[in-house]
Amino acid sequence: MSIRDIVILDYGSGNLRSAQRALERVGATVTLTSDFDSAVNADALVVPGVGAFAACMRGILEIQGDQIIDRRISGGRPVLGICVGMQVLFANGDEHGTEVAGLGQWPGVVEQLDAPILPHMGWNTIRAPANSKIFDGLADERFYFVHSYGVTKWQLNGNTLDRQPPVVTWCTHGTDFVAAVEDGPLVATQFHPEKSGDAGLALLQSWVRSLY
């Protein structure tokens, strides 16, 4: 088995070192770059993201990250979005009443969670469907979340006859929200697997193994 080459898309967002080291720990070769061709052609692409939806979208668009992700998905090549890197895959982000267009891989709006304490910060349980691959053997584990926004309604349009329905995993903080999505080559988590201890490493390992 060859070691998989993974690119972490470096568009200026936060702490990328942990994601890099966690993926290396589970056997991948990892490059941090914003280079278009490297990101399109890598065995797998990780889209990280912390902070504001709008700022992350700006950073992604500046390096043509939208085209990188489109090309990869249409070619069936794996992409993993983490935290705001998951949120930007939805159609829209609503921060302080201002809507910002997302990458539109899935319909839905990222909006502020309705909870007494925000950010939602810490280790929470998830509800994974039985056919989830990334939570296989990990459904009872806690994962580390830090975010104030999320997708509270999952709605998929009818024009998806050509693909399997996505596997959606939920979490609750004040309200139910999407914790993870597995949709063919496109996988995303609202939590930080690279900060979720052994459970997070196990999840990353099963994702990396799925690349072979």
Partner 1 sequence: MSLAIRVIPCLDVDDGRVVKGINFTGLRDAGDPVELAARYDAEGADELVFLDITASSGDRKTMLDVVRRTADCIFIPLTVGGGVRSPDDFNLLLRAGADKVSLNTAAIADPNLLSQAAERFGAQCVVLSIDARRCPPGVSTESGFEVTTHGGRRSTGIDAIAWAIEGTKRGAGEILLNSIDADGTKAGFDLQLIEGVRSVVQVPLIASGGAGALTDFAPAVNAGADAVLAASVFHFGEFSVAEVKQELNEAGILVRLIAH
- The answer to whether residue 196 forms part of the interface with partner 1 (CB under 8 A) is yes
Distance CA 168, CA 93 (A): 19
Q: Which is nearer to partner 1, 139 or 156 (CB)?
A: 139
CB-based contacts of 116, cutoff 8 Å, min separation 6: 174
Residue 100 interacting with partner 1 (CB under 8 A): no
User: What's the rounded Cα separation, in Å, for the pair 27 and 109?
Assistant: 35
Query: Distance (Å, rounded) from C-alpha 13 to C-alpha 125?
Result: 26
Longest dimension (CA), the chain: 49
- Interface residue with partner 1 among 7, 200, 207, 208 (CB under 8 A) is 200
CB of 200 to partner 1, least distance (A): 6
Catalytic pick from 56, 83, 120, 171? Answer: 83
Told to judge if 171 belongs to the known catalytic residues of this protein, a careful annotator would answer no
Q: How many CB atoms lie within 10 A of CB 84?
A: 27
Binding residues for partner 1 restricted to 62-91, rule: CB under 8 A: none
- Residue 147 beta carbon to partner 1: minimum distance, rounded to whole angstroms: 7
Peptide bond between residue 165 and the one before it cis (omega within 30 degrees of 0): no
- Write out the residues near partner 1 by the rule CB under 8 A: 14-15, 17-18, 21-22, 25, 50-52, 55, 116-125, 127, 142, 144, 146-148, 172-173, 192, 194-197, 200-201
Which residue numbers are catalytic?
83, 192, 194
